[in-house]
Structure 1
Amino acid sequence: MALFGNKIIGIILLILLVIRLLALRNVGLLVMTIGVSLGFIVTSTSINSKLKVDLPDQLENQVLKVYPDMVKTNGASFSYIGKLTGDAHKFVFYGRFKTQQQKRQLLESNEPILLRISGKVVDFNPATNVNQFDMRQYYHHQKIARAVVVDEIDSLGPSPQLTMVDRIHRLRCQFNHYCETLPKTLQIYAMGLISGSRQTDFFDEMTGVKKLGLLHVFSISGMHVYYFLAILNQFLAWLPLSKYGKAGIELVCIAAYFIFSGGSPGLFRAVVMAVIAISNRLLQIRLSRLDIWSLCLMINLFLMPEAMFLMGVQLSYGLSLGLIVSDGLSYVKQTVLLNLLTLPILLYHVYEWHLLSVAVNIIVLPLFGKVIFPLVIFGVIAGKVLPMMVLPVEFGLKAFNDGLNWISTLPGLITFGKPSLVIVIAMLLLTFCLVLKKVNHKRLMIGLCGLYVGTFLVIHFPLTGEITMFDIGQGDSFLVRTPMNRSVTLIDTGGKVDFSTQSWQRGVKNYQAKRLSINYLKSIGVSRIDYLCVSHQDADHCGDLPAYIQEMQIGTILIPLGMDKNPNFMKRIEGRHRATRVLPVNDEMRVNGLPLSIYHPYEPGLGENHDSMVLGATIGGLSWLFTGDLDRPGELDTISRHPELHSDVLKVGHHGSKTASDPQFVAHIKPKIALISAGRNNRYHHPNVETLETLKQSGVMVYNTQTQGMVRYVYHHNSGHFETTLNEHEGNL
C-alpha cells in the first residue's frame, strides 16, 4: 500500500504491523518479517523498472503471436494483450479489422496465428473524470505500461511450432467454438463457468447476476478450482499410482487449467493455494489453512504486488480468508458474514448493493454447486453425445437466469455511493472483529451499522452543490446539483456518432455514459435525476439517453418544443418508465422546480442545431448560460428577445465551432469564464481558432475538457471554486 497506493494509509498500516511485532516479542519473527519486507521492496522496485518500455513511437512490420481465444472484439474493433516476438514486455493492442474476412480468419481459427503488424506505441489515457475507471492504473497493476494502436495487419498463418501453452490455448479455442453452437443461455454459462470467457453481450444477458452480487460465481476462482480437482481426483482414484504420481499429475493439470481458464489475477490466488495445499499434503508439512492463505498472499505480493488493487483479487482473498476464519459457523451465518466482508469492497468499486443479495446468495450458492454447475457440465457433454437433452438443459438454465433477472428488478437496489478508503478499511476491520468475536458482539454490530448509516448520510446529503462539465469526448453533458441533493438536473447525456456502414462493423452498443457520467453520479450517491434537459436531437448530445433510462430514475425529460414530433428522437426514449414525463418547452415556459430558466427556442422545430434549448441560472454566486449547439443567428435572436441576458460563465456553443460564439453575442453576454466540451483530436477540429480568438479578445478564461478533463464548480451558498481533473499537460493526449 505504501509503495503503490495511498501512502498515508500504507504507513499507518505499517506502523500497526510494527507495534504488533514488538508486542509479540518474538525476535525470530521480527527478523523474518524484516527480511521478507526488504525482499519485497527489492522485487517491487525491479518490477517497476522493467515496466519502462523504450520503443519508437511507430512500429513497422513487427511479428505478433495471437491466441484467438484471448482476442476481445466488438464489431470491427478488437483488443488483445500480448508480446511482440523477441520482446519480453506485454502490450495492449487495439485496432479495427479492415474486412469481415480478416475478422473471420482470426476469430474462427483454433490455432495460434502469427500477424505482421504496424502501428503507433502510445501511453494509456489517464482517468479524465472523477471516479472514472482508470485504464492506465488498471493495466499498470498487471505489469502493462503501454498500448499499441494497430494500423495495418497482415496474417502470416498459423504458428509453425506449438508449445504446451499454445496447445492449451488451441483446446480453449476449440471448446469456445463448440460452445457457440449451443443454445444461448447454456453457451454463456458454459463459457463463463468452464473456460472463463465472456462474450460482448454477457452483462446484457446477466443483469441479475451483476445486480445481485453474484459475479464472483462467474469469475473463475476457488469454487471452480475445487470442482476441477474433485473431478480430477475421481479419475486418479481409478489409477494405480503412488501419492507422488497423483500429486504430480494434479500439479501439471492445475497449471494447465490456469491457462485454459484465462489466467486471471483472481484465479492465480486459487491456483497457488491449491498448489500449496497439495504440496502440504504430500510433504506433510502440517500447514494450517490460514498458513496456506498467508503464504499464497506473500507469493502474490512478490510476483504481482499491484494485482492486490484489482477488485477481483480483493474479493478472492477476502472471501477465502472469510471462509477460513468463519469455519465452524452455520451455513447461513457464514454466508451473511461473507457478504458483509465483500460489501465494503463492492461499494468502493461499484457503489451499489441490492438488499436481496444476501438472501439470494444463501439460496443460490448451494444451488450452483449441486445443480447449476453439474447441469452445465452435463449440457456441454450432452451436446456431443445426447443432443436431445440439450434443450431441457437450456430450458432449466434459462428459467434460473430469468428468475435472477426478475429478482434483480424488485425494489432493494441501493445506490450507496463511494466510501473513502479509510472508511472501507474500518468497515473491513470491524467485520473481521465480528467474525473473530474478539469484542462485545452487540456493541460491534451497533458500531458497524452506525458506520454504514453515517457514511450513507454524508454521501447522500452533502453540504455543497456542484455544476459539472463531464469529459465525454466529442459531445455535451452537464450536471447541476444543489446542496443536500435537493435537486439533480442533467443537461444532455453525450453519446457517440456511429460511422460504421456495415452491420458486422457495429457490434454491441456500448454507452460510454455508463462508465463516465452515470458512474460518477452513482459514486456520489445519485440514483435519480429530477430533470433531464435535452438541448437537441444530435447523438453527441442525447445518444446515451437510453443508458440513463436503463440505469437511473428520471422524473422529467425536457425537450425543445416540437422535438416530440421527431420519430428518430422519440425512438431513443421509448423504453422510459411510464412515470417519466416528456415535456416540450419554449422560452415562455417556467417549469416548477427546475433550477434553470429557458431562453430558447421560441418556436417549434424538430431538434436541429438552431432549435437548441438554451438554459440559464444564477447558482453559487455566478450566472450561467448553456447554449447547446445553437448557431450564430440563434444566438443573436436570443439576446434580441432577452436583452437583459448576461452570464459570468458561458457554455460555448457547438463545442467551439465557428458556427457559434458570434462576437456580438459574446460581447453582449460578457462572460468571465467559458466552458468548452470537445473531444481530443476530433475530426471537426473543435474548438475553432476563430472562436478561441473571439474569447481571448473578450478576456474570457477558458476551461476545456480536452486539456483539463472534467471541470467542477463546487459551491456553498454564494461562493465556490473550480476544480479540474487534469492539469494542462495531462490533458494533451
Structure 2
Amino acid sequence: MLLMSMAMYGNRLIAAALLSILIMRIYFLRDVKVVSTCILAGLIFAFGGLLTNRQVSAPVSQQNYLVKVYPDSAKVNGANLSFIARPEGAKQKMVLYARLKSSSQQRRLAAGINPMMLKVSGKSAPFLPATNLNQFDMEKYYHHQKIQSCFLVDHFVLLPPPAKLSIVDRIHIIRSKFNQYCSQLPKTLGIYATGLISGYRPVNFFDEMTGVKKLGLLHVFSISGMHVAYFLSIVDQLLAWLGLSRFKKSIISITFLGAYFVFSGGSPGLLRAVMMAIIGILNRLFKFGLSQLDIWSGSLIINLLILPEAMFLMGVQLSYGLSLGLIASEKFSYIKQTILLNFLTVPILLFHLYEWHFLSVAVNLIVLPLFGRVIFPLVIIGVIGGLVAETLVLPIDMFLRIFNDGLNAVSRLPGMLTFGKPALPIVLTMLAVTMLLAVVDRVRAPKLIGILAAVYLVTYCWIHFPLNGEVTMFDIGQGDSFLIREPFNRSVTLIDTGGKVQFNTQPWQKGAQTYQAKRLSINYLKSIGISKIDNLCVSHQDSDHCGDLPAFIEEMEIKRIIIPLGMDQNPSFMKRIANRSRSTKVISVNDETQVPGLPAQIFHPYLAGKGENHDSMVIGTQKGGLRWLFTGDLDRPGELDTLQRHPGLSADVLKVGHHGSKTSSDPQFIATVKPRIALISAGRNNRYGHPNDETLVTLKQHHVKIFNTQKHGMVRYIYRNNTGHFETVLAGHEGNL
C-alpha cells in the first residue's frame, strides 16, 4: 500500500521499480494467502484513494459560510488570522485566511477559550504552488492532508459560541485553558509544557529553541510515540491502583488515547503512535499474537486508508522510520540503537531541511535518557506545582533554562553541515542500507557501513561541485534577488535579498518578525549545498531589495557585502548589517571600482549617495555565453547617464529596472543596450501595478522576450561553458540560447 501511495501521488518511476521487486517477491513465495491478501489490500487502497481524490477535488462555489473556530488551533500573528475548518455546507476542510480589523478582535481570539462561530464572506481559491525550486510547497502539504483549497475572507462577524458543545469541543476547551495556563508559567517551563504535553508551539518557540532545531531534536518536541507511551504508562499506573479489570482498563486507555490525540493537536505523525498503542492494547486484550512488526504494519495500513498521502509528510516519515528502527534494533545496546536511529533520520532531514549537525548523535545519546527520566517528570511537576504557587516552580524553570541554554550553546559550535538536497532514489538507498545494518551480522556490517559512507560522500561531492553554473532570478514577490553561481561553486554572488515593505502599520498589526528569504532564497541555496556567499551586492537601501539582509547574515557566511558609494553613511542601512561577522568586509563602490573576486563589472553609481533609487548599483557580467545587466531600481535619467559614461554598453539579458515601473526602462536605453531577454521581478497583484504597460510596450516594440516572476516563478539560466538554457518553475517559456 505504501508503494501504491507513491505510485498514485508521488514518483511513479521509483514506485514502479519497487512494486516490480515486491511483485517478484510475492510470486516466488507462491503463498496463496499472501497473494490474496496483497491483492485485496491493493484494491481497497486504490478504491479509497480514488474516493479521496473525488471528495477533495470537489469544487467550492459557496461564498458565505458559517464556521467554527477553536482558539487553541487558530493562528493569530499580528493582524493575520488563519485556521483550518470545515464550514457548514462545505464537503471538505479548508484553510481560512482573514485580516483582523481591530486590536479588540485580536485580543478576543488570542484570549478565547470556548469555540467561536464566525460568519464569513469571501472567495475560495486554490493554493499557490511553490514558485521557487525546493521551496516548501503549501499546496502539496495541505493536499496530503485532504485539504485542497483555501478561503480568502473579505469580511467576518464574530457570533456567540455554540449552545451545545460536543466532546471534541470540550477537549479543545481544555487544551485552550491548558495553553493559557502555561503561558502564565515562567517562560521556559511554559514553552516546554506546551511543547511536550499539548503539542502547541507559541510564536517565539524556534527563537527560544534554536538548539533543538539545529541539533535534530525536534522529534522530541513533536508529540509522538515517546510521549504517548509515557502518558499511557501514567494512566496504566493509575488504573492499576484502582484495581480495575483488564477489559475496563483497556477501554479507558483507548478512550484516553483518542482524547489525547485531539488534545495534542491531532497531527498526522501522532496518528501512527496512537494507532500502534490501540492495536497493542487490543492485541494484549484478545491475545491475537501480533508481533511489534505486525502492529507497525497494521498502523501503516490504517494510516494510509485514512490519509493516503500521509507518508509524504516529514513528520510521518520520521515517526514511521524511527518506530521501525526501534523494532529492528530492539536487541541492540542503547548506544548502538541510538546511533542507528539517528542515522535513520539523517536522509529524511537532508531531503527536507538540507542540513545536519555532526554533534547531533552525541547530543541525542545524552539528551534522550534525560527527557524520559528528568525533563518529562520535571515539566509535569512544574505544571502541577504552578497551581499552588509560582515560587515553587522557579527552580524547575531555572533548571530547564540552563538545560535549554546548553543546547543552544552546543548548536552554535562548529559542526553544522549544509549537505544539500539528495535525490529521492539516493535517500531511499541511504535508508535501505541503514536499515540493513540492524539485521546483518557483524561480518557484513563493515561492508555496509563502507557502502553507506561512499553513498554520502559521492552525493555530497555531486551537490557541492556541480558541473553547471547558473544565473537565477528568485520569485520573492515585490522585490529583487538574483544568484550568480559559477561551475564547481568557484564563486557565489547574490544581488539583493528581497524583503517586505511595511505600510503605516499599527503596533498591534505587526506580528512576529519573519524573513521570507529563509523559506525562499536561503532555502534554495542550502538545498544546492551553499552556505557561503562570496559577494553579496546590495543595489540600494529599499526594503524590497535588502530588507532580508539580516537573515542572510544570520544563516550564511558572507565574505563581502558590496554597496553603492555613500550608503555606508546611511544609518538605517548600517543598522541592518550591524550583526555581521567580523570577517565580513563592507565595500563601497562606484563605477571605477574593481572588487577582487567579484565576477562582474560595476557601471553605476559614479557619485556618492544615500542609497536611493537613483543611486542604484548597476552590475554587468558575462555567463554562459550571454552578457547580463542588473540595474536595481535605477531611474530613466540614471540609465541615460550610465550610457553616456559607458558608451557601447550592451546586454543580451537585462534585469528590467524598478520591477518594470514606467520610471525606468527609457526607450533610448533599451534601444542602445539591445537586450534579447528581459527579467522582471514583481509581486503578484502588487499595489503599484508593476510591471507598467508602458514598459511592456517598450520591450515588445524592441522584440524583447520577457520572463516575469508573476507568471513564471523562479527563472534559472543553467549553463556550461558558453551554452545554456532557461528553466522556469511555473509553466511558461523555456528554451536554449
Same topology, TM > 0.5: yes
What corresponds to 2:185 in structure 1? 182
Deviation at 1:73, TM superposition (A): 1.7
Pairing 1:505–2:509 present: yes
What corresponds to 1:670 in structure 2? 674
Which consecutive residues of structure 1, in runs of 5 or more, have no partner in the other structure?
none
Pairing 1:25–2:59 present: no
**Partner Cα separation in structure 2 for residue 528 and residue 675 of structure 1:** 25
Pairing 1:65–2:96 present: no
Pairing 1:126–2:129 present: yes
**Partner Cα separation in structure 2 for residue 627 and residue 729 of structure 1:** 23
CA contact (8 A) 1:75 1:505 kept: yes
- How does 1:130-145 map onto structure 2 within 5 Å? 130-145=133-148
Pairing 1:453–2:431 present: no
Q: Secondary structure at the match of 1:68?
A: coil
Residues 220-263 of structure 1 deviation map (CA, whole Å, 9 limit, x = unaligned): 00010011101111110111321111111101111000000000
What corresponds to 2:565 in structure 1? 561
Picking from 639, 642, 646, the partner of 2:650 is 646
What corresponds to 2:269 in structure 1? 266
Q: More deviation in 444-453 or 389-398?
A: 389-398
Picking from 250, 255, 258, the partner of 2:253 is 250
Deviation at 1:561, TM superposition (A): 0.5
Q: Secondary structure at the match of 1:94?
A: strand
What corresponds to 1:50 in structure 2? 55
**Partner Cα separation in structure 2 for residue 43 and residue 457 of structure 1:** 42
Picking from 480, 485, 489, the partner of 1:476 is 480
**Partner Cα separation in structure 2 for residue 454 and residue 475 of structure 1:** 37
Q: Secondary structure at the match of 2:216?
A: coil
Deviation at 1:504, TM superposition (A): 1.2
What corresponds to 1:425 in structure 2? 428
Pairing 1:218–2:221 present: yes
Q: Secondary structure at the match of 2:160?
A: strand
Question: What one-letter code is carried by the residue in structure 2 that aligns with 1:375?
Answer: L
**Partner Cα separation in structure 1 for residue 465 and residue 198 of structure 2:** 44
What corresponds to 1:371 in structure 2? 374
Q: Secondary structure at the match of 2:501?
A: coil
**Partner Cα separation in structure 2 for residue 390 and residue 586 of structure 1:** 60
CA contact (8 A) 1:649 1:671 kept: yes
**Partner Cα separation in structure 1 for residue 10 and residue 467 of structure 2:** 29
Question: What one-letter code is carried by the residue in structure 2 that aligns with 1:465?
Answer: G
Q: More deviation in 495-504 or 1-10?
A: 495-504
TM-score of the aligned structures, taking structure 1 as reference length: 0.98
**Partner Cα separation in structure 1 for residue 285 and residue 572 of structure 2:** 68
Question: What one-letter code is carried by the residue in structure 1 that aligns with 2:709?
Answer: T
**Partner Cα separation in structure 2 for residue 567 and residue 373 of structure 1:** 47
- How does 1:82-101 map onto structure 2 within 5 Å? 82-101=85-104
Pairing 1:146–2:149 present: yes
CA contact (8 A) 2:498 2:545 kept: yes
Which consecutive residues of structure 2, in runs of 5 or more, have no partner in the other structure?
1-5
CA contact (8 A) 2:563 2:589 kept: yes
What corresponds to 1:517 in structure 2? 521
Q: More deviation in 437-446 or 462-471?
A: 437-446
Question: What one-letter code is carried by the residue in structure 1 that aligns with 2:317?
Answer: Q
Picking from 3, 10, 13, the partner of 1:8 is 13
Picking from 204, 209, 213, the partner of 1:206 is 209
Residues 191-212 of structure 1 deviation map (CA, whole Å, 9 limit, x = unaligned): 1100000111211111100000
Pairing 1:359–2:354 present: no
Q: Secondary structure at the match of 1:591?
A: coil
Residues 66-100 of structure 1 deviation map (CA, whole Å, 9 limit, x = unaligned): 11000012111111001112333100001111001
Deviation at 1:386, TM superposition (A): 3.7
What corresponds to 2:197 in structure 1? 194
Residues 687-706 of structure 1 deviation map (CA, whole Å, 9 limit, x = unaligned): 00000000000110000000
Pairing 1:581–2:562 present: no
Deviation at 1:434, TM superposition (A): 1.2
Percent same amino acid among aligned pairs?
62
What corresponds to 2:601 in structure 1? 597
Q: Secondary structure at the match of 2:309?
A: helix
**Partner Cα separation in structure 2 for residue 66 and residue 587 of structure 1:** 58
Pairing 1:570–2:574 present: yes
Q: More deviation in 305-314 or 180-189?
A: 180-189
Question: What one-letter code is carried by the residue in structure 2 that aligns with 1:447?
Answer: I
Deviation at 1:500, TM superposition (A): 5.0
Deviation at 1:187, TM superposition (A): 1.2
**Partner Cα separation in structure 2 for residue 554 and residue 522 of structure 1:** 14
CA contact (8 A) 1:122 1:146 kept: yes
- How does 1:29-40 map onto structure 2 within 5 Å? 29-40=34-45
Q: Secondary structure at the match of 2:421?
A: coil
**Partner Cα separation in structure 2 for residue 446 and residue 294 of structure 1:** 30
**Partner Cα separation in structure 1 for residue 74 and residue 409 of structure 2:** 32
**Partner Cα separation in structure 1 for residue 574 and residue 715 of structure 2:** 31
CA contact (8 A) 1:119 1:151 kept: yes
**Partner Cα separation in structure 1 for residue 512 and residue 111 of structure 2:** 19
**Partner Cα separation in structure 2 for residue 74 and residue 729 of structure 1:** 37
Q: Secondary structure at the match of 1:476?
A: coil
Q: Secondary structure at the match of 2:343?
A: helix
**Partner Cα separation in structure 1 for residue 658 and residue 299 of structure 2:** 55
What corresponds to 2:500 in structure 1? 496
Residues 498-545 of structure 1 deviation map (CA, whole Å, 9 limit, x = unaligned): 225211110111110000000000000000000000000000000000
**Partner Cα separation in structure 2 for residue 43 and residue 110 of structure 1:** 36
Pairing 1:277–2:277 present: no
TM-score of the aligned structures, taking structure 2 as reference length: 0.98
Residues 98-144 of structure 1 deviation map (CA, whole Å, 9 limit, x = unaligned): 00101111221210111111111111001100001111000000000
Q: Secondary structure at the match of 1:436?
A: coil
**Partner Cα separation in structure 2 for residue 257 and residue 626 of structure 1:** 55
Residues 37-85 of structure 1 deviation map (CA, whole Å, 9 limit, x = unaligned): 11110111101100023222x613x211111000012111111001112
**Partner Cα separation in structure 1 for residue 415 and residue 594 of structure 2:** 35
Picking from 608, 612, 617, the partner of 1:613 is 617
**Partner Cα separation in structure 1 for residue 52 and residue 573 of structure 2:** 52
**Partner Cα separation in structure 1 for residue 76 and residue 495 of structure 2:** 32
**Partner Cα separation in structure 1 for residue 204 and residue 24 of structure 2:** 50
**Partner Cα separation in structure 2 for residue 589 and residue 524 of structure 1:** 31
User: How many equivalent pairs are there?
Assistant: 728
**Partner Cα separation in structure 1 for residue 733 and residue 68 of structure 2:** 35
Question: What one-letter code is carried by the residue in structure 2 that aligns with 1:18?
Answer: I
Deviation at 1:563, TM superposition (A): 0.4
**Partner Cα separation in structure 1 for residue 413 and residue 110 of structure 2:** 39
Question: What one-letter code is carried by the residue in structure 1 that aligns with 2:32?
Answer: V
Q: Secondary structure at the match of 2:104?
A: helix
Deviation at 1:729, TM superposition (A): 11
**Partner Cα separation in structure 1 for residue 155 and residue 138 of structure 2:** 24
**Partner Cα separation in structure 1 for residue 553 and residue 109 of structure 2:** 37
- How does 1:313-332 map onto structure 2 within 5 Å? 313-332=316-335
Deviation at 1:159, TM superposition (A): 1.3
**Partner Cα separation in structure 2 for residue 46 and residue 585 of structure 1:** 62
Deviation at 1:492, TM superposition (A): 0.1
CA contact (8 A) 1:500 1:506 kept: no
Q: Secondary structure at the match of 2:437?
A: helix
